[in-house]
Structure 1
Amino acid sequence: MIKLENLHKIYQLDKNTSLHALKGVSLNIKKGEIFGVIGLSGAGKSTLIRLINMLETPSSGKVIIDGEDITSYSEANLRKVRQSIGMIFQQFNLLSSATVFDNVAFPLKIAGFKKDEIKKRVLELLSLVGLDDKANVYPAQLSGGQKQRVGIARALATNPKILLCDEATSALDPKTTSSILKLLCSLRDRLGLTIVIITHQLEVIKECCDRVAVIDGGVISEMGDTIEVFASPQKDLTKHLVATVVRRDLDDLLSYTKLYSEYKENSRAWFLLTFLGDRANDPVIVDVAIKTNAKISIMAGQINHIQNQPLGFLVIAVDGSKDAIDTALKELTDRVYKVELLGYEVE
């Protein structure tokens, strides 16, 4: 659906200074998925999303939409492509002097739709985003969430196949953010949209994105299914971002527990277990304790939900001989998504 090939973007700031905002970015976004791009400020997120609809021209590389390389399109052809790509923004960008109806109607008027067609389409869209009763009010009379719903309706006016969201929930409170994300998921399912979400909020990725790419210093540092990235982050930045949402108590727990890297007589092993999907509900600890006669203590635990899939973390301590601990480790490894030895505690 959307394919980015080796994209570079260099801004010439002045005669002697340039900024290499994107450095060889390649992505393949599937039709009908919600794809998230997350990174810190200045990482290149907004540049990336503006290249998808060619609001920015890449310095090199290709932007391919539905098999067509649009990087070489004329401005007239790009205007046609952009009618199939809707976009919503952090600051809503509504016309303050126009009613909700006229805000949503604006792109239809530009596209040359007839008056009766515009009326029908606008009322359909307002119903779709839950604003049936707001057609004749002005943006100043709306809450932030309602303004963003108007922005979404306007972005959908020309019946696009792709919806780009540039920090679309950054100005909203958590409850309103959740409602907007649920709306986006619903629209994806009802309309068959492909949605790209640029954000610095990991909670947004956690709630609605099928896959995620982490951008760092203009390059994609990590990419994969959202639940996999949350369960097993590989890069330091990803680990830092994930730690703001999951495993919040682990550092505090380990800060007052002295663990050693080598086994000593009468020590016990500490493990971090990661449970994923349906297996998060399995009675693993009880089963392993019975099968191995190991003494297993639960030290800490947490269950998160990534797109309604359970992702659990459990810190346990296993008492016994080295052989008994190794046997328990083998059983645990066979039963859970990931087992990490944290160290050995000497009593």
Structure 2
Amino acid sequence: MIKLENIHKIYELDHGKTLHALKGIDLQINKGEIFGVIGLSGAGKSTLIRIINMLELPTDGKVIIDGEDITSYREAKLRKVRQSIGMIFQQFNLLSSKTVFENVAFPLELDQTLSKDEIKNRVHELLKMVELDDKADVYPAQLSGGQKQRVGIARALATNPKILLCDEATSALDPKTTSSILKLLTTLRDKLNLTIVIITHQLEVIKECCDRVAVIDGGLISEMGNTIDLFANPQKDLTKRLVSAVVRKDLNDLLEYTKLDDTYSEGSRAWFELLFLGDKAEDPVIVEVAKELNVNISILAGQINHIQNKPLGILIVAVKGDEALIQKAKEELEKRVYHVQLLGYEVENNE
């Protein structure tokens, strides 16, 4: 559906200096998926999304949409391609002097083949789709942030695009409104068979609605994969920091203030982090292993997150026993959960 091959973007700055914003990006986004791109400020996210619809021209590389390399298209041909690519923005970009109806109608009025009745019917259909059919005659200043973004979505869908690009589309919204917008985007994806690309610095956005995700760092894609896998087992330091702040935020304090040794000593407890995916998050794993091995397993902390409605459970447990028993407990836990990590050994204070 969307394929980027070896995309570079170099900006010419003052005094002969340059900024290499994108450094050989290779990326494939499948038809009908919601694909997230996340990174810190200045990582190249917005440049990347603007290259997809050629609002920014790559310095090198190819942009391929539905098998066609659009990189060399002239402006007239590009305008036709852009009609199949809608875009929504962080600041909504609505026309303040026009009503909601007129904002959504604006791209349709540029198509001289459509009659007024056809435009009217299409606008009302779109407003109903985004649950704003009662706001047609209202001006943007009278709307909440979430309502403004819904108008932006309706306008972006006016020309029946196949692709919807979202550039930090929820950054200006509160968490509850953000969630409602993401649910709307997911519904529209399913109803209209859209391919949606979401650029964001908020991992909570990725967590809620994206099928796959790419992490961009310094103009390079550092990590990419299925969202659930990335949350469960991040590989790169940046991804680990981003994920930790969301799915392990209530566990970090416990680990930060607990001193653990790297080696076992007599009487110490082994601390493990256990990851549970899907239905396994509800299995009585700790009870089963404790009974089977007659071993003392203490639950120290835990939480369950939902990644696209799939449970991802994290438990911090302590296993007490001799080194052989602790190793046996680790092996039994590994049979039952997604991932087991030894965090270290705690020597109990018997004073």
Structure 2 counterparts to residues 40-51 of structure 1, below 5 A = 40-51=40-51
| Offset of residue 248 of structure 1 | 1.4
In structure 2, the residue matched to 1:235 is 236
Two-structure CA RMSD over aligned residues (Å): 0.9
Q: How does 1:164-203 map to 2 (within 5 A)?
A: 164-203=165-204
Please list, as runs of the form range in 1=range in 2, the aligned pairs for 1:105-120 lying within 5 A after superposition. Answer: 105-112=105-112, 113-120=114-121
User: 2:216, 2:197 → 1: CA distance?
Assistant: 14
Q: Which residue of 1 aligns with 2:52?
A: 52
For 1:329, the equivalent position in structure 2 comes to 330
Query: Which residue does the alignment assign to 2:34?
Result: 34
Q: 1:49 corresponds to which letter in structure 2?
A: I
Distance (Å, rounded) in 2 between the aligned partners of 1:279 and 1:251: 23
Q: CA deviation at 1:246?
A: 1.2
1:78-135 CA-partner distances (Å, limit 9, x unpaired): 1110000000000111111111111101111112222111111000000000011111
Tell me by how many angstroms 1:74 deviates: 1.1
Shift of 1:175: 1.0
Q: Secondary structure at the match of 2:198?
A: strand
* Structure 1 letter corresponding to 2:14: D
What amino acid maps onto 1:176 in structure 2?
T
Instruction: Give the residue type in structure 1 aligned to 2:12.
Output: Q
2:91 match: secondary structure: coil
Letter aligned with residue 182 of structure 2: L
Unpaired segments ≥5 residues, structure 2: none
2:213 aligns to what? 212
**Any unmatched runs of 5+ in structure 1?**
none
Corresponding residue number in structure 1 for 2:277: 276
> Which residue of structure 1 aligns with residue 86 of structure 2?
86
1:16 and 1:260 map into 2 onto residues whose CA distance is: 53
TM-score by length of 1: 0.98
2:265 counterpart SS class? coil
Match of 1:12 in 2: 12
Aligned match of 1:307: 308
Alpha-carbon displacement from aligned partner over 1:245-266 (angstroms, at most 9, x marks no partner)? 1111333112332211111112
**Distance across 1 between alignment mates of 2:169 and 2:92:** 8
Deviations 1:204-257 (A, max 9, x none): 111111111111100001111111111111111111111221111333112332
In the TM superposition, what whole-angstrom CA distance separates every residue of 1:154-185 from its partner, at most 9, and x where no partner exists?
Answer: 00000000000000011111111111111000
Number of the residue aligned with 2:126: 125
Residue 291 of structure 1 and its aligned partner are, at CA, apart by 1.1
1: distance between equivalents of 2:55 and 2:226? 28
Structure 1 Cα separation of the partners of residues 279 and 115 of structure 2: 52
Q: What SS does the corresponding residue of 1:23 show, helix, strand or coil?
A: strand
Which residue identity is paired with 1:343?
G
Letter in 2 for 1:111: D
Could you say which residue in structure 1 is the equivalent of 2:292? 291
User: What number of residue pairs does the alignment pair up?
Assistant: 347
Q: Match for residue 144 of structure 2?
A: 143
TM-score by length of 2: 0.97
Aligned-partner Cα distance in 1 for 2:142–2:342: 56
Cα displacement (A) at 1:290:
1.1
Structure 2 match to 1:23: 23
**Structure 2 match to 1:221:** 222
Query: Partners of 2:167 and 2:115 in 1: how far apart?
Result: 30
CA distance in 2, matches of 1:16, 1:223: 34
Partner in structure 2 of residue 343 of structure 1: 344
Identity %: 78
User: CA 1:228–1:122 in 2, change beyond 3 Å: closer, same or farther?
Assistant: same
**Structure 1 position 15, deviation (Å):** 4.2
The corresponding residue for 1:163 is 164
